[in-house]
Amino acid sequence: MLAAITFICSCLAFLAPAGAVTPVEITPHRAAYTFEMLSSEPSGGVSGVTGGMTFEWADACDGWALDQHYLIRITNNDGTNTEIRTSNATWESKDGLRYRFSVKRGRDGKLVEDLRGDARLEAAGSSGVVAFSRPKQEKIPLPEGTKFPTDFMLEQMRAARDGSSMPPKLVFEGGAMEGPQSVTTMILPRRAPSKSGVLKEPLGPNDVWPIYVAYFPAGNPGGTAETELTIEIQANGIVPSFVLDYGIFKLRAVLARVSALPDAGC
């Protein structure tokens, strides 16, 4: 998730002038979001959800370094509470061929999952392998066409810029000891930004691309999506808001603060 950290749209599109091209140029940044529950399934037993996320997208010169931390507090119908913490630190080469990841998940103060590993692709579009070092040493093949998450996100942004569609992709994030998930993307037309007041020049507010993403279980792309994500992303990589749908409940994340990272001097 990277993802996991993974990203509802207006039907009133804000269209660019004919011939205008919006460059995809990532601004390394650090952002914080607050969560609010939009809805929950009556049978899910959840009465409320709060929490937030911090996210950092840094230029590591030879790659992109992402650092994400989630905190979700779930209140159940019986009055009990559950606290879930997730951290996801990754490095991905800018050619999209190498990927290192460290994913930790905690529940009520106890570490319940710790995954680490290093993945490689032989070439763009070809097969590869992921070598897990935690929770145990194991190698898992990656089929042809596998993508790593940052390269996948950049491809989505370029498709949104060009007004083109994307076929389903295989994306490996390292969130489980298994192969890549099948991911479906739907891109809607660019629209004007919301006037939240958090984004200030030169970081925004800029037009956003609404992108809907559905993650399906590995080996079962025709099944029910495990997670659905709708993001609104600017051409500089900053996300003013996104919606996470876990099935039993749905969350909206709203940008609370954002700042540019220092120039890496690459």
Per-residue confidence at 21, pLDDT binned at 50, 70, 90? Answer: low
In this predicted structure, the answer to whether residue 217 has a pLDDT above a threshold of 90 is no
Per-residue confidence at 221, pLDDT binned at 50, 70, 90? Answer: low
The pLDDT assigned to 43 comes to 84
Instruction: Judge residue 43's burial from the number of C-beta atoms within 10 Å of its C-beta, 0-12 exposed, 13-18 middle, 19 or more buried.
Output: exposed
The pLDDT assigned to 206 comes to 94
Instruction: Judge residue 102's burial from the number of C-beta atoms within 10 Å of its C-beta, 0-12 exposed, 13-18 middle, 19 or more buried.
Output: middle
- For 94, the token pair is 């800018």
Total-model pTM: 0.87
Burial 235-245 (b: 16+ CB within 10 A, else e): bbbbbbbbbbb
Q: For residue range 103-129, what is the model confidence (pLDDT) as tens digits?
A: 999 999 999 999 999 999 999 999 999
Place of tokens 């629209």: 191
Q: Out of 1-10, 19-28, 121-130, give the one with best mean pLDDT.
A: 121-130
- For 16, the token pair is 């660019």
Phi, psi (rounded to 5 degrees) for 44: -80, -15
The more confidently predicted of residues 6 and 162 is 162
Give, rounded to a whole angstrom, the gap between the first and last alpha carbons of the chain: 28
Helices then strands, each counted (H, E), the chain: 1, 15
In this predicted structure, the answer to whether residue 51 has a pLDDT above a threshold of 60 is yes
Q: For residue range 133-161, what is the model confidence (pLDDT) as tens digits?
A: 999 999 999 999 999 999 999 999 999 99
Which range (152-156, 204-208, 244-248) has the least confidence?
A: 244-248
> Region 227-246: what's the mean pLDDT?
94
- For 151, the token pair is 């390269």
Q: How far is C-alpha 154 from the chain's CA centre?
A: 11
- For 255, the token pair is 């940008």
Give the residue from 201, 174, 216 showing the smallest Cα distance to 1: 174
- For 145, the token pair is 């066409």
